[in-house]
A and B are shown apart, each in its own frame.
Chain A
Amino acid sequence: MNPFLETEQIMTRRRFFGLAGTGVATAALASLLNPELFAARNREPVRNAIGGLQDLPHYTPKAKRVIYLFQSGGPAQMDLYDPKPDLIRRYNEEVPKSVYPDDRKTTMTSGQTRFPVAPSRFKFNQCGQSGIELSETLPALSRMADDICVIRSMHTEAINHDPAATFFQTGSVVPGRPSMGSWLNYGLGSENGDLPSFVALTSGSGGQPLYDRLWGNGFLPGRFQGVKFRGQGDPILDLYNPGGVSSGMRRRMLDSVSRLNEMQYRKSGAPEIQTRIAQYELAYRMQSSVPELIDFSKEPKEQVDIYGPTVRRTGSYAYNCLLARRLAERGVRFIQLFHRGWDHHGSLPKRMAALTNATDRPTAALLRDLKQRGMLDDTLVVWGGEFGRTVYCQGKLTEKTYGRDHHPNCFSMWLAGAGVRGGLTYGATDDYSVNVVENGVHVHDMQATILHLLGINHELLTYRHQGRYYRLTDVFGKVVNDILT
Chain B
Amino acid sequence: MLCWQNNLSGVLAVIVASFAGCISVSAVDFVRDIKPVFSDTCFKCHGPDGKAREAKLRFDRREHVVGESAPDGLIVPGQPDQSELIKRLSASDPGDRMPPPETGLKVDAEAIAKIRQWITEGAKWPEDDRHWAFVPPESPEVPAINLRTARFNQIDHFVQAKLQEKGLNPSAQANRATWLRRVSYDLTGLPPTVDELEEFLEDVSANAFENVVDRLLKSERYGEHMGLSWLEAARYADTDGYQNDRLRYQWVWRDWVFRALNDNMPFDQFTLEQLAGDMLPNRNFYTQVASGFNRNHRINSEGGSIPDEWIVEYVADRVETVGTVYLGLTFNCSRCHDHKYDPIKQKEFYQMFAFFNNVDEAGLGPNNGNSPPFIKVPKSWPQLSDAETNYIEPTKPKVRIQQTSVPRPQPGKPDTVMVMSELAKPRETYILNRGLYNQPDKSQQLRPETPESLGILPESVPRNRIGLAKWLLDPKNPLVARVTVNRFWQHFFGRGLVRTSENFGIQGELPSHPELLDWLALKFIDIDWDMKAFQRMIVLSATYRQASEASRKMIQRDPENVLLTRGPRKRLTPYQIRDTALFTSGLLVEKIGGPSVKPYMPAGLWKSISNRKYDQGKGDDLYRRSIYTYWMRTIPPPTMMVFNAAEREVCSVRKELTTTPLQALTMMNNITFVESARFIAERVVREGGENAGQRLDYLCQLLLARKPTRPERIQLMQDYKSHISEFRKDRKAAAALLAIGSRKRDAKLVANEVAAWTMLANTILNLDESITTN
User: CB within 8 Å of B: which residues of A?
Assistant: 3-4, 6, 15, 22-24, 27-28, 30-31, 36-38, 40-42, 103, 106-112, 159-163, 174-176, 202, 205-206, 208-213, 216, 221-223, 227, 230-234, 236-246, 248-250, 252-253, 256-257, 259-261, 263-265, 267-273, 275-277, 279-280, 282-284, 286-287, 315, 338, 340, 405-406, 459-460, 462, 466-469
Q: At the interface, yes or no: B444 with Cβ under 8 Å from chain A?
A: no
CA distance A249 to B755 in the complex (A): 12
1/0 contact string of B647-664 vs chain A (CB within 8 Å): 101100001111111111
Q: Which residues of B contact A176 (CB under 8 A)?
A: 647, 649-650
Q: Which residues of A contact B668 (CB under 8 A)?
A: 238, 241, 250, 253, 283
Q: How many residues in B have their beta carbons less than 8 Å from beta carbons of A? A: 130
Q: Which residues of A contact B737 (CB under 8 A)?
A: 242-245
* Given A6-B658, A38-B19, A223-B658: A256 in contact with B715 (beta carbons within 8 A): yes
A268 near B569 with CB under 8 A, answer yes
Contact of A253 among B306, B341, B719 (CB under 8 A): B719
A67 to chain B, nearest CB (A): 19
Q: At the interface, yes or no: B403 with Cβ under 8 Å from chain A?
A: yes
B634 near A212 with CB under 8 A, answer yes
CA distance A24 to B10 in the complex (A): 10
Q: Which residues of B contact A174 (CB under 8 A)?
A: 313, 650
A108 near B656 with CB under 8 A, answer no
A466 near B503 with CB under 8 A, answer yes
Q: Which residues of A contact B603 (CB under 8 A)?
A: 232-233
Q: Which residues of A contact B658 (CB under 8 A)?
A: 6, 221-223
A239 near B669 with CB under 8 A, answer yes
A-B contact pairs, 14 of them (CB 8 A): A15-B552, A106-B306, A159-B306, A160-B300, A160-B304, A175-B650, A209-B244, A210-B634, A231-B604, A244-B732, A253-B759, A256-B715, A270-B550, A276-B664
B41 to chain A, nearest CB (A): 10
* Given A106-B305, A279-B663: A269 in contact with B604 (beta carbons within 8 A): no
CA distance A3 to B602 in the complex (A): 23
* Given A107-B305, A260-B715: A459 in contact with B104 (beta carbons within 8 A): yes
> Which 3 A/B pairs are nearest by Cβ-Cβ distance?
A467-B507, A111-B405, A244-B737
Q: Which residues of B contact A230 (CB under 8 A)?
A: 602, 604-605, 608
Given contacts A160-B243, A253-B763, A283-B665, 4 further A-B contacts (CB under 8 A): A31-B20, A106-B305, A242-B740, A468-B341
B739 near A243 with CB under 8 A, answer yes
Q: Which residues of A contact B670 (CB under 8 A)?
A: 237-238
B755 near A216 with CB under 8 A, answer no
Contact of A272 among B405, B550, B659, B666 (CB under 8 A): B659
A162 near B661 with CB under 8 A, answer no
Q: Which residues of A contact B313 (CB under 8 A)?
A: 174
Q: At the interface, yes or no: B551 with Cβ under 8 Å from chain A?
A: yes
Contact of A108 among B340, B405, B716 (CB under 8 A): B405
A246 near B726 with CB under 8 A, answer yes
Residues B462-508 near A (CB distance < 8 A) = 499-500, 502-503, 505-508
B407 near A107 with CB under 8 A, answer yes
Q: Which residues of A contact B769 (CB under 8 A)?
A: 261, 264
B716 to chain A, nearest CB (A): 7
Closest residue of chain A to B660 (Cβ to Cβ) is A223
Q: Which residues of A contact B607 (CB under 8 A)?
A: 205
CA distance A393 to B290 in the complex (A): 47
Among A6, A243, A259, chain B packs the most CB atoms within 10 A around the CB of: A243
B666 near A238 with CB under 8 A, answer yes
A3 near B330 with CB under 8 A, answer no
Contact of A216 among B11, B647, B662, B759 (CB under 8 A): B647
B759 near A109 with CB under 8 A, answer no
B766 to chain A, nearest CB (A): 5
Closest residue of chain A to B609 (Cβ to Cβ) is A210
A272 near B768 with CB under 8 A, answer yes
A236 near B662 with CB under 8 A, answer yes
Contact of A315 among B608, B726, B766 (CB under 8 A): B608
Closest residue of chain A to B306 (Cβ to Cβ) is A107
Q: Which residues of B contact A234 (CB under 8 A)?
A: 602
Q: Which residues of B contact A270 (CB under 8 A)?
A: 548, 550, 555, 569, 772
A467 near B508 with CB under 8 A, answer yes
CA distance A237 to B333 in the complex (A): 37
Contact of A31 among B19, B307, B734 (CB under 8 A): B19
CA distance A460 to B105 in the complex (A): 9
Residues B561-606 near A (CB distance < 8 A) = 569, 571, 602-605
CA distance A209 to B239 in the complex (A): 14
A262 to chain B, nearest CB (A): 10
Q: Which of B58-66, B386-394, B532-540, B635-643 touches A?
A: B635-643
CA distance A263 to B670 in the complex (A): 26
CA distance A261 to B770 in the complex (A): 10
CA distance A202 to B711 in the complex (A): 47
Residues B722-743 near A (CB distance < 8 A) = 722-723, 726, 730, 732-740
B510 to chain A, nearest CB (A): 10
Q: Which residues of A contact B19 (CB under 8 A)?
A: 27-28, 31, 37-38
B404 near A237 with CB under 8 A, answer no
Q: At the interface, yes or no: B180 with Cβ under 8 Å from chain A?
A: no
1/0 contact string of B602-645 vs chain A (CB within 8 Å): 11110111111000000000000000000000111010011010
CA distance A28 to B715 in the complex (A): 36
A71 to chain B, nearest CB (A): 15
Q: At the interface, yes or no: B12 with Cβ under 8 Å from chain A?
A: yes
CA distance A106 to B305 in the complex (A): 6
* Given A212-B636, A270-B555: A257 in contact with B767 (beta carbons within 8 A): yes
Q: At the interface, yes or no: B378 with Cβ under 8 Å from chain A?
A: no
Q: Which residues of B contact A27 (CB under 8 A)?
A: 12, 15-16, 19-20
A237 near B507 with CB under 8 A, answer no
Q: At the interface, yes or no: B8 with Cβ under 8 Å from chain A?
A: yes
B762 near A240 with CB under 8 A, answer no
B306 near A41 with CB under 8 A, answer no
* Given A175-B647, A256-B716: A108 in contact with B406 (beta carbons within 8 A): yes
CA distance A6 to B767 in the complex (A): 18
Q: Which residues of B contact A28 (CB under 8 A)?
A: 15, 19, 556
B608 near A42 with CB under 8 A, answer no
CA distance A269 to B567 in the complex (A): 13
Q: At the interface, yes or no: B220 with Cβ under 8 Å from chain A?
A: no
Q: At the interface, yes or no: B526 with Cβ under 8 Å from chain A?
A: no
A44 to chain B, nearest CB (A): 9
B709 near A261 with CB under 8 A, answer no
CA distance A188 to B103 in the complex (A): 20
Q: Which residues of B contact A30 (CB under 8 A)?
A: 20
Q: At the interface, yes or no: B774 with Cβ under 8 Å from chain A?
A: yes
Q: Which residues of A contact B16 (CB under 8 A)?
A: 27, 31
Q: At the interface, yes or no: B195 with Cβ under 8 Å from chain A?
A: no
Q: Which residues of A contact B662 (CB under 8 A)?
A: 227, 236-238, 283
CA distance A15 to B559 in the complex (A): 14
B733 near A263 with CB under 8 A, answer no
Q: At the interface, yes or no: B303 with Cβ under 8 Å from chain A?
A: yes
B608 to chain A, nearest CB (A): 6
* Given A238-B669, A283-B661: A272 in contact with B571 (beta carbons within 8 A): yes
B762 near A107 with CB under 8 A, answer no
* Given A40-B21, A107-B407, A112-B405: A242 in contact with B674 (beta carbons within 8 A): yes
Closest residue of chain B to A206 (Cβ to Cβ) is B611
CA distance A449 to B55 in the complex (A): 31
B304 near A405 with CB under 8 A, answer yes
Q: Which residues of B contact A211 (CB under 8 A)?
A: 245, 609, 634-635
CA distance A176 to B548 in the complex (A): 34
CA distance A234 to B662 in the complex (A): 13
CA distance A286 to B666 in the complex (A): 13
Contact of B664 among A36, A280, A406 (CB under 8 A): A280
B723 near A249 with CB under 8 A, answer yes
Q: At the interface, yes or no: B530 with Cβ under 8 Å from chain A?
A: no
CA distance A66 to B722 in the complex (A): 46
* Given A36-B108, A108-B405, A238-B670: A244 in contact with B665 (beta carbons within 8 A): no
Q: At the interface, yes or no: B422 with Cβ under 8 Å from chain A?
A: no
